[in-house]
Amino acid sequence: MGGMKKEEHMLHIEDLWVDVHGKEVLKGIDLHIGKGETHCLFGRNGSGKTTLLMTIMGFDGYKVKHGKITFKGEDITYMPLNERAKLGLGLSFQRPPTLRGVKLRDMLRLCGNGSDVGVQLAIEYGFEGFLDREVNLGFSGGEIKKSELLQLLSQNPDLTLLDEPESGVDVENLNVIGDMIRRLLEKDKHRNRTKSGLIITHTGFILNYVTADRGHVMLDGKLVCHGNPIDIFERIQQNGYEECAKCQF
Amino acid sequence: MSVLNTIQTNEEEILKRFKPADQVDTVKDLTELDNEEILRLKKTGVDLDAKNRLGTFLQTNCGVVSCSCDIQGVEMLPITEALKKYDGLKDYYWKLIDPDKDAFTRETKEHLDNGYFIRAKKGEKVIYPLQTCLYIRNDNVAQRVHNIVVAEEGSELHIITGCTTHPHLTSGLHIGISEFYVKKGAKLIFTMVHNWAEDVYVRPRTTISVEEGGTFLSNYVSLKGVKSVQAFPTCILKGRGAIARFNSVIVAPEGSHIDTGSRIILDAPETRGEIISRTISYGGHIIARGHLIGKAPDIKAHLECQGLMLAEKGVIHAIPELEAHVADVDMSHEAAVGKIAKEEIEYLMARGLSEEDATSTIVRGFLNVKIEGLPKELDEELQKAVEECHKGM
């Protein structure tokens, strides 16, 4: 990564240590994501994957004890959440709260700074029936995912953080979710792609819909293994995460 | 609750403090109201220039300044005239409310200033609302009002009532006795906007009876400061299949004591009731009551009290009550009081909103109760008022 030009960096994390509720969760993470790249994060429940995403986004309660996060060349380690969003970071929530009285239509406009792009896309994806519903109220797992991705498409971030985008989605809707993610990450562009992604996946299903450049395995707060995401996922399926602890390739 | 006790023991004292409205001058006609007053009325839901209101009743202090209605199917009179014309309104006057209920009902029985009588004739369906306004124009005045509304069989009626004080006065007392009769298959939508001042006491006493297949919808909005409101309107569903719904949106700034709620007595089979209240304390004291009484089989009723605390001071005391007298009832309630959930604010901030904008969005959403039949301009006024009261915190 040393040879990369500065403008080609999207996210650069150096020796990141993070506490949550006084407990050490991340123990020295190094991660580099280049412009236009999509990375996958594998690992057991509780290994620290979600904590990493929440820390990058800047949520309260994720306390950086040591290390540095650089996004598009700016040190964002202690930058407020909303400023990170404005700078081009976006996150899809695993279990977003319900916003009473706030319609999805208005939420999409808020995300897009007044633009109607999100509303247009909702119509394109056959989700217009939800535009006048209150955000997340009574939404199914798959509907929450669609709503989250539409909000992100409105927001148009440069780096999208996705926490298990396939969970709770039936096979039929995986196509739609996959298409939305491909759009977010500009997968139709093979040159000059500027959008990057970091995706947590348990099932690996999403790899059938979205190509990823690199995979990482998180084990007890450390990234222990890096490589081709499909190779890594196959090894995990064959040998389980225990092997990842031993194998360091 | 200590506040309630204080209110009850102080009834006589409150009455003594204010000058009866009939001892104060009133205006002769609308031209005497200046622009500032007209704007104030407009912000209270009463638009004197509006074309889409079918009638206007305006009472200033004790005097009726305007009482006109454009359609034949609806009769609108000052109550004092209606009492003369209809031989004391024997079927309606003090039939739902006991005049000996408390000091305020007794006061109004003995010293009536005026009020309105509105009757929609059988089968008359009114598309646009009528507006009524009870306006205290002089400082330190006690206004004593008695209102009767009758929606005859099969009729539909929408009334917007704005109750307010002169833009420059601070103190007063408003007593409003209201008896509403919704007859077989009729529908009454009653929207009330309160826009008081910091040292105003308000004592509405309201009872509604709904006959078979009738519907009563009430919307109550109070967003400005007031010294003390105490109200507990009661709707009796007397006939099979009758429906009642109460929506309330209440904001209490510091110094306001608002003790209010709604009660629905489901007294006939297959009746339905719903009470929804959204309250916000910016330092004020709110008691949000709700009481569902199921007395007949196959009834269904739901009560929802949601309160938001937006200042360090203040109290929200939600008192939801369910009372079943027969086995075959379906009654439920949900009540929640607290500050804005941090995760909701962070959710919006993760989309790029500042903390302040995120909070406003959540507050606006919270107060966004679907109010059926609310005219567009009043809805806009409400949105503005919510915005203002939020900025003012």
Per-residue pLDDT tens digits for B341-376:
999 999 999 999 999 999 989 988 888 776 666 666
Residues in A closer than 8 angstroms to B352, CB to CB, are: 82, 85-86, 111, 113, 155
Substitution target in B280, B304, B347 with the highest count of A β-carbons within 10 Å is B347
Please tell me whether residues B357 and B244 are part of one structural domain: no
End position of a domain, from candidates B300, B323, B341: B341
**SS3 (DSSP) at A109:** helix
**Number of separate domains in chain B:** 2
Token pair listed for B20: 């009866």
Asked whether the beta carbons of residue B353 and residue A110 sit closer than 8 angstroms, the reply is yes
End position of a domain, from candidates B341, B357, B376: B341
- Candidates A136, A156, A154; CA nearest to A145 is A136
Please tell me whether residues B362 and B242 are part of one structural domain: no
- In this prediction, residue B1 has a pLDDT band, given cuts at 50, 70 and 90, of very low
Per-residue pLDDT tens digits for B304-322:
999 999 998 999 999 999 9
Please tell me whether residues B316 and B372 are part of one structural domain: no
DSSP string, B32-43: GS-HHHHHHHHT
Please tell me whether residues B37 and B135 are part of one structural domain: yes
Please tell me whether residues B382 and B330 are part of one structural domain: no
Lowest mean pLDDT among A135-149, B28-42, B191-205: B28-42
Substitution target in A102, A139, A148 with the highest count of B β-carbons within 10 Å is A102
pLDDT score recorded for residue B50: 76
For Cα atoms A212, A216, A217, give the angle at the middle one, nearest 5 degrees.
Answer: 135
Please tell me whether residues B147 and B78 are part of one structural domain: yes
Mean per-residue pLDDT, B92-119:
96
pLDDT score recorded for residue A1: 42
Q: Does B347 touch chain A (CB under 8 A)?
A: yes
Mean per-residue pLDDT, B110-123:
96
Please tell me whether residues B262 and B309 are part of one structural domain: yes
End position of a domain, from candidates B298, B321, B341: B341
Q: CB-CB: which of A60, A102, A111 is closest to B346? A: A60
What pTM, to 2 d.p., does this model score? Answer: 0.84
Please tell me whether residues B145 and B279 are part of one structural domain: yes
Residues A4-29 as b or e (16 or more Cβ within 10 Å = b)? eeeeebbbbbeebbbbbeeeebbbeb
Please tell me whether residues B327 and B374 are part of one structural domain: no
Pairs across A and B, CB distance < 8 A: 64
Please tell me whether residues B226 and B282 are part of one structural domain: yes
Residues in A closer than 8 angstroms to B341, CB to CB, are: 97
pLDDT score recorded for residue A248: 55
Sheet holding A23-34, edge to edge: A23-34, A9-20, A62-71, A74-75
Is residue A16 left, alpha or beta, with left meaning phi > 0 and alpha meaning psi from -120 to 50?
A: beta
Asked whether the beta carbons of residue B351 and residue A96 sit closer than 8 angstroms, the reply is no
Residue B292: domain span: 2-341
For Cα atoms B351, B353, B356, give the angle at the middle one, nearest 5 degrees.
Answer: 150
Q: Does A212 touch chain B (CB under 8 A)?
A: no
Please tell me whether residues B121 and B188 are part of one structural domain: yes
C-alpha span between A49 and A41 (Å, rounded): 7
pLDDT score recorded for residue B370: 67
pLDDT tens-place values along chain A, 249 residues long: 444 455 578 999 999 999 999 999 999 999 999 999 999 999 998 999 999 999 999 999 999 999 999 999 999 999 999 999 999 999 999 899 999 889 999 999 999 999 999 999 999 999 999 999 999 999 999 999 999 999 999 999 999 999 999 888 888 889 999 999 999 999 988 888 999 999 999 888 888 889 999 999 999 999 988 999 999 988 888 888 877 777 655
Q: Does B364 touch chain A (CB under 8 A)?
A: yes
Q: Does B371 touch chain A (CB under 8 A)?
A: no
Mean per-residue pLDDT, B31-58:
88
- In this prediction, residue B166 has a pLDDT band, given cuts at 50, 70 and 90, of very high
Q: Does B280 touch chain A (CB under 8 A)?
A: no
Please tell me whether residues B364 and B294 are part of one structural domain: no
pLDDT score recorded for residue A20: 97
Q: CB-CB: which of B342, B353, B365 is closest to A101? A: B365
Q: CA of B364: which chain A residue's CA is closest?
A: A101
Of residues A9 and B254, more confidently modeled: B254
pLDDT score recorded for residue B43: 85
